[in-house]
Amino acid sequence: METVETTFTLTFSDEQYEKAMEYVQDMKKHPKRVFWLGKEGKTDEELIIGHIAHKILSGFYNNYDPSIARRQIREMRNQRSA
């Protein structure tokens, strides 16, 4: 099995940041949700940025308007290891 580590450089708007912050604050009210799996010990900022990245990348891979993804996904670097 091979592993590829991929690093993305993303851009996002203030509105996207605010919505992600609201989402994270809402998730804090629901500690048993799947959202929290694997996120123990993360800061609010890490959770917010992770949520933004997830939404951008999910939208890109689920074929939404590709012109938006081209503006938000600025760079992608891959490193392959065995």
Tens-digit pLDDT profile for residues 20-75: 999 999 999 999 999 899 998 999 999 999 999 988 888 766 666 666 666 777 77
- Mean pLDDT over 5-27 rounds to 92
Euclidean distance between CA atoms 53 and 32, whole angstroms:
22
**pTM check: above 0.85:** no
pLDDT above 90 (res 80): no
For residues 45 and 21, the answer to whether their CB atoms sit within 8 Å is: no
Say yes or no to pLDDT of 16 above 70: yes
Q: What residue ranges do the domains of the chain occupy?
A: 3-81
Pairing of strands 3-10, 73-81: antiparallel
d(CA 62, CA 56): 10
d(CA 51, CA 54): 5
